[in-house]
Amino acid sequence: MKISIAQFKSELGAVDENFSTATRLIEGAQNSDVILLPELWSTGYYPTPVENFADIDGERTKNFLCAAAKKFSVNIIGGSVIVESSGKIFNRCHVVNRRGEISATYDKTHLFSFAQEDKVFGAGDKISIVELNGVRCGLAICYDLRFPEFIRKIALAGAEIIFIPAAWSLKRLTPRQILTKARAIENQIFVVFANSSGKSEIVNPRGEVIAESGRDEEILTAEINLNERAEVIAMMNLLADRNLNVD
């Protein structure tokens, strides 16, 4: 599976400009199987008041992603955008398949209280697994990465790859690089992390970084071989070996 990360730092509040940038990067990565965008790519992280920048029911975002996915016959994991739905504001990811159809949505579950996300966004309450090109893919957003029990739940649901759009400050780069490796190793999955601030990466189930970006706008592309994951599990099946019979 050929995966591309469309890494770019959005202009805060400049929605039309950010859509234009996303259009250009998606076109540049069109020969991939899956394209992943960063967190809150359409608005930047994050303009206030957020309700003034919310995409009502995600309609503009969905129409845009569906048209691009169908035009280039590519699966797009649409990072995340600010969405107003049923009177609440969510940090929401839309996934679109090659036919230009919405395949899944996911609302950020763990809200970053340090940035007061919990004051403005509603929290998601379910995991999301979507099959793309026959591969089971899990979704998380940025701060979700810090919660091992949440990522484990996604792995137990059968995810082979977890896609994580983010707007992670490079001031906290070291812990993030440790966390992506740890989540990959302990769950024996690929981790694909798209960061608007740069240093996006793709990590294999051994915790090895197979592709890493710089800090500027970039299309980061790598081939993922799912047989590699099968080989790792055949040698040491961590999920099967779990022993929960403890007090």
The closest alpha carbon to 25, from 74, 93, 59, belongs to 74
Residue of 9, 39, 84, 137 with catalytic role: 39
d(Cα 126, Cα 187) in Å, to the nearest integer? 19
Strand 81-85 to 88-96 pairing: antiparallel
Cα(243)–Cα(246) distance, rounded to whole angstroms? 8
Which H or E run includes 227?
Answer: helix 226-235
CB 133 within 8 A of CB 75: yes
Whether 11 sits among the annotated catalytic residues: the reply is no
Q: Cis peptide leading into 49, omega within 30 of 0? A: yes
Is 171 designated active site? no
Q: Is 117 labeled as catalytic in the residue annotation?
A: no
- 108, 117, 137, 160: which is the annotated catalytic residue? 108
**CA–CA gap between residue 183 and residue 149 (Å, rounded):** 10
Closest of 227, 225, 222 to residue 32, by C-alpha: 222
Say which amino acid occupies 209. Answer: V
Closest to 198 in 3D by CA, of 172, 227, 222, 169: 169
- Given 142, 160, 181, 201, the catalytic residue: 142
153 φ/ψ angles, rounded to the nearest 5 degrees: -60, -40
Active site amino acids: 39, 108, 142
